Amino acid sequence: MIELKFNIEGGDFDRAGTASSETKKVLKQLNIDPRVIKRTVVALYEGEVNIAAHAFRGEVIVSVSDHQIQAILKDEGPGIPDISQAMLEGFSTASSKVREMGFGAGMGLPNMKKNADQLQVESVPGSGTTVKMIFNF
């Protein structure tokens, strides 16, 4: 099993994208189906941008085993008070600063759901959010 770990700082949009691009390189080296790589990288990118956009800091752990990629994105931040509302296409609480960076369409979580085989979002308001995604191949 291969494990990759990345730290993400809230507000750091210069580095948001590192976890997904580094993961992409490793998945390519492992000769994983390009369609699976694409789904994983798209979902991971949305997840890491969410930490940069909405949380204070977080950690991304990607584990690759024989037939599965698992991604855990755990952050310290304000949390999500209503997860089903957050999952709706177009729902966003992004700040004006985040919108200026080109984010805030409210499409990240719906996109993660579409691309992952399993998506689990757990959050404690006032404390943080943990997102788990599984991609099978």
Ligand X SMILES: Nc1ncnc2c1ncn2[C@@H]1O[C@H](COP(=O)(O)OP(=O)(O)OP(=O)(O)O)[C@@H](O)[C@H]1O
**Residue numbers of the site for ligand X (CB under 6 A)?**
46, 50-51, 53-55, 75, 77-80, 86, 91-94, 103-110, 129
Closest distance of CB 132 from ligand X, Å: 13
Strand-pairing partners, residue 117, are none
Per CB under 5 A, the list member of 77, 108, 110, 128 interacting with Mg ion is: 108
On whether the CB atoms of residues 119 and 132 are closer than 8 A, the answer is: yes
Closer residue to ligand X, CB minimum distance, 4 or 107: 107
E strands, the chain, in order = 2-9, 57-65, 68-76, 118-124, 128-136
Closer residue to ligand X, CB minimum distance, 33 or 122: 122
Specify the stretch interacting with Mg ion by CB under 5 A; choose among 5-13, 29-37, 80-88, 107-115. Answer: 107-115
Asked if residue 50 binds Mg ion (CB under 5 A), the reply is yes
Beta pairing class for 68-76 and 57-65? antiparallel
Reading the block at residue 49, the tokens are 């941008």
Specify the stretch interacting with Mg ion by CB under 5 A; choose among 13-21, 58-66, 102-110, 125-133. Answer: 102-110
Q: How far apart are CA 121 and CA 108, in angstroms?
A: 13
